[in-house]
Amino acid sequence: MNSSRTWKSGERCQVAGTYRCRQCRLEERDTRRDLTVGQVFPMCEACSQKDATWWLMREAGAASRPRT
pLDDT tens digits for 5-63? 999 999 999 999 999 999 999 899 999 999 999 999 999 989 877 789 999 999 998 65
Total count of residues recorded for the chain: 68
Handedness of CA 6, 66, 40, 29 (dihedral sign): negative
Domain boundaries, the chain: 6-59
pTM of the model: 0.81
**CB contact set of 58 (below 8 Å; sequence gap of 6+):** 17, 18, 64, 66, 67
Q: How many CA atoms lie within 13 A of 63 on its CB side?
A: 0
